[in-house]
Amino acid sequence: MSTGLHIPGPDVDAARAERESVIEVRDLVKVYGRDTRALDGISFDVGHGELFGLLGPNGAGKTTTIRILATLLRPTSGLARVAGFDVAAHAHDVRERLGLAMQTPTLDAFSTGRETLELAGRLHRLSAARLRRRADELLELMGLSSVADKLTGTYSGGMKRRLDLASALMHRPPLLILDEPTEGLDPQSRTALWEELERIGAQGTTMVLTTHYMEEADRLCSRLAIVDNGRIVVEGGPQELKETVGADSVVLQLEASDGAADDRVGAVCRRLEGLVPCEAVGEHPAGVVLAVPNASAAVPQLMRRVDGDGLRITGLQMSQPSLDDVFLKYTGRHIREEAADQPIVMWG
Amino acid sequence: MNTLTAFTYETYWMGLRTTRRFFRVPSNWLSIIFFPLIQLLVFSQLYKDIVQLPAFGHQSYLAYLAPGQIVFASFLAVGWSGYGMLVEYRNGYLDKLRASPIARSSILAAEMVPLFFEAALMAAVLLVVSLLLGASLVTGVGGALLILAMSGLFGIAFAGVSFIAALLTKSEQAASALSLLMFPVVFISTAFVPRAVMPGWMQGVNDWNPVTFQIEAIRRLMLVGYDWPAIGKAVLSLLIVGAVLQTGTLLAFRRLAR
C-alpha cells in the first residue's frame, strides 16, 4: 500500500510537547437523561507520541469518551484537556489540533476523493499550494491515487476508511483520534490499516483509539486503559497488564486411557509437587490445564516430571494470557460475551 | 482571518460541496423541472380554452400558466432540501464538520446559499422554455434577472419548511410528509386560474398567500411591466416568511448540532 514515502510528521512544538500531556482527563462524568451514567468518573493522561488505547466491550463508554475529547459532546462534569485546551471552553483550539476518524467513515458520497481531502484541508486553513501537495502525498500514501477523482460513493469499505484517515491527517494534527478503526474490515485490510497507523505513530503523532478487538489493542497500543461500565478498570502497557494475570496457560494432552479427569488432575498434581501448586492444576477435556508463570521456561521440566510411568503426554498447548484474560480478571466477564472473536483451538 | 472573512470562506468552500451534491445526481434536478414542464406543456394545450371564461382576463393560457410554473420550479427546488442535511446527520458527516475548526453557522449557511442559485436556475429553465413556447417577457433581460432573483429569494424563504421538518423529526418519511403539506398552498394559488374566477373562500385565502404574491409579481413582469407595488408585496412577504422559517431552521439546527 505505501511506497515508503516519507511525509513530515505532526505540526508540534517539540520542546513544549515534551513537558505537557497531550490529553488530560480528570473525573470525567457523562450522564444522559436522568440516570444513565455513560461515564462514571474517568481519569487518564496521554503523553506526546503515545499510542493510547481504550479497550472494552460495546457500551463501556469508550465512544462517549472519544466524543467528548473530539468536542462533539459536552461532559456533565469533570475535566478534559487536549493539547492544553479545555474541550468545553476552548473547543475551537482543540479542533484545530485534532484529526478524527470515527467508526464508520464519514464521507460525502458525491464528492471525489481529492475534493474530500481538499475540503478537509481548507476547513483547517491550509494554503492552496500546501493543499494540493498534501492531498497528493496522502492519496499516494493510502494507495488511492488512481481513484482520487472518482466519487467516494463508489469506493469499497477499505478505501473509504483509508480516505477518511487521510482526511483526518491533511492538517498534520498532533493528535489523532480513532473510534474502532478496523471495525468490519476483512483481515487483510485490517492488517494493512494497522501498518499504516504504526507508520503514522512512528512519525510522532499522538493517537488515541478505541477498540473491542484485543489483537488491535495488543499490537498498536503502547499503553491502554480497560474500560467497563463507564469506569477505567485498569491501565498500563499491554505486556504489563498481561503479566498481572500472573500465569501462562499450559494444556497437557494425555492419552484417554489414563483414567478419569479428576484422577488425572490428582496424578499430575502429585508428580509436579514442589514445582507447581495443586491449585494451579485444573481439569481439561484433553488432559489437564496448568497455570504456570513463565511457561516456556518451565515446560521441559514439566514434561519430564509428568510423562512416563502410566501417564503419556501426547501433545501440548501453551498460551500467554490475552487481554481478554486481563479483562476477565478485573471484571469477571469476557470482552465479547459471544466470544465470536476467540481463536478456535483444536483439542487433541 | 477575522470572523466575517472566516465565515465567508467556510461557507463558500462548503457551499461548493453542497452544490456539487445537488448537481451530481441528475434525478435531483430533472425531477424538479419535470413536473412544472409537464404542467406547462400539457395544461396549456388541454385547457387552452379556459381563457374564454368571461372573467378570465387573458388571451393565452400558456402565458398565464408560465409564471405559476416558474414559481413551482423554485418551490420544488427546495422542497426536499433538508434531506441532505438529515442524511449527513445520520452518517456522521455532520459530526465531522462539527469537529472542524469552523463556525457552526457556516455549516447551515453552506446549505442555504446554494439553494438561492439552485432555485433561480430551476426557475430559469422554466422561464426559457415558456419563452420558447411563445410566452412573452415585456420587461426583457432586466425583468428576467429580477424574476430569477425573486425565485432565488423564494427558494431560501421556503427551504425552511423542509429543513424544519427534517431536523425536528429526524425522519425521511416525516420530512416528506410535512413537505407535501406545502403543495396545497401552491395549488390553491393563482397558478392555474385568476382570482376573479375562484370561489369566494379561495379568493380570501389568496389575499394572504405569499405564493400568489410571487406569481402575480412575475406575471406582471412577463405580461405588463415593472409593477413595483406587486413586486414589493411579493418580496416583503418572502422576507417575512423567510425570517420566520429560517429562524425556525436555525433553532432546529442548534438543537441538532450544538
Which tens digit of pLDDT belongs to each residue from B210-223? 999 999 999 999 99
Rg of chain A's alpha carbons, rounded to an integer?
24
Asked if residue B83 lies in contact with residue B77, where contact means CB atoms within 8 angstroms, the answer is no
Read off the pLDDT band of B16 (50, 70, 90). Answer: very high
Name the minimum distance, in Å, from the CA of A301 to any CA of chain B: 57
Cell numbers 430551476 correspond to B122
Verify whether the Cβ–Cβ distance A122 to B13 is below 8 Å. Answer: yes
Residues of B in contact with A92 (CB under 8 A): 101
Sheet holding A85-86, edge to edge: A36-46, A23-32, A77-82, A85-86
What is the separation of C-alpha B150 from the centre of its chain, rounded to a whole number of angstroms? 9
Q: Is B106 contained in some domain?
A: no
Pairing label, strands A36-46, A23-32: antiparallel
Q: How far apart are the first and last CA of chain B?
A: 23
Asked if residue B93 lies in contact with residue A107, where contact means CB atoms within 8 angstroms, the answer is yes
Q: Closest to B92 (Cβ–Cβ): which among A71, A102, A110? A: A102
* Closest to B115 (Cα-Cα) out of B253, B252, B242, B244: B242
Tell me what pLDDT residue A16 has. Answer: 54
Tell me what pLDDT residue A261 has. Answer: 66
Read off the pLDDT band of B66 (50, 70, 90). Answer: very high
Asked if residue A250 lies in contact with residue A312, where contact means CB atoms within 8 angstroms, the answer is no
Print the domain residue range for B207: 33-47+61-82+113-256
Verify whether the Cβ–Cβ distance A104 to B92 is below 8 Å. Answer: yes
Q: Is B72 contained in some domain?
A: yes
Sheet holding A98-101, edge to edge: A98-101, A175-179, A206-211, A51-55, A223-228, A231-236
Query: What is the C-alpha separation between A120 and B118, in angstroms, rounded?
Result: 24
B201 has a pLDDT exceeding 50: yes
* Closest to A266 (Cα-Cα) out of A285, A288, A293: A288
Query: What is the C-alpha separation between B117 and B148, in angstroms, rounded?
Result: 9
Total number of domains constituting chain B: 1
Query: What is the C-alpha separation between A22 and B228, in angstroms, rounded?
Result: 62
For B191, the 3-state DSSP assignment is coil
Which tens digit of pLDDT belongs to each residue from A26-57? 999 999 888 888 999 999 999 999 999 999 88
Question: ipTM of this model?
Answer: 0.88
Asked if residue B175 lies in contact with residue B83, where contact means CB atoms within 8 angstroms, the answer is yes
Chain A 138-167, residues with CB within 8 Å of chain B CB atoms:
151
Q: Closest to A100 (Cβ–Cβ): which among B20, B25, B96? A: B96
Asked if residue A334 lies in contact with residue A328, where contact means CB atoms within 8 angstroms, the answer is yes
Question: Chain B residue with minimal CA distance to A92?
Answer: B101
Q: Is B70 contained in some domain?
A: yes
Tell me what pLDDT residue A334 has. Answer: 78
Q: Is B24 contained in some domain?
A: no
Identity of residue B186: V
Q: Is B22 contained in some domain?
A: no
**Domains of chain A in sequence order:** 14-242 (3.40.50.300), 247-320 (3.30.70.260)
Q: Is B18 contained in some domain?
A: no
Region B65-77 average pLDDT: 94
Residues of B in contact with A120 (CB under 8 A): 100
Mean of pLDDT over chain B: 92
Identity of residue A2: S
Tell me what pLDDT residue A346 has. Answer: 38
**Cell output for A170:** 491533511
One digit per residue, pLDDT tens: chain A, 348 residues?
A: 444 444 456 766 655 555 578 999 999 999 988 888 899 999 999 999 999 999 988 888 999 999 999 999 999 999 999 999 999 999 999 999 999 999 889 999 999 999 999 999 999 999 999 999 999 999 998 999 999 999 999 999 889 999 999 999 999 999 999 999 988 888 888 898 899 999 999 999 999 999 988 889 999 999 999 999 999 999 999 988 988 887 888 888 887 555 666 678 888 888 888 888 887 787 777 888 888 888 888 888 888 888 877 788 888 888 888 888 888 888 878 776 544 444 544 333
**Cell output for B128:** 426559457
Q: Is B118 contained in some domain?
A: yes
Tell me what pLDDT residue A280 has. Answer: 78
Query: What is the C-alpha separation between A152 and A154, in angstroms, rounded?
Result: 5
Verify whether the Cβ–Cβ distance B100 to A104 is below 8 Å. Answer: no
Pairing label, strands A98-101, A175-179: parallel
Query: What is the C-alpha separation between B252 and A274, in angstroms, rounded?
Result: 73
Sheet holding A313-319, edge to edge: A281-284, A287-292, A248-254, A313-319
Q: Is B241 contained in some domain?
A: yes
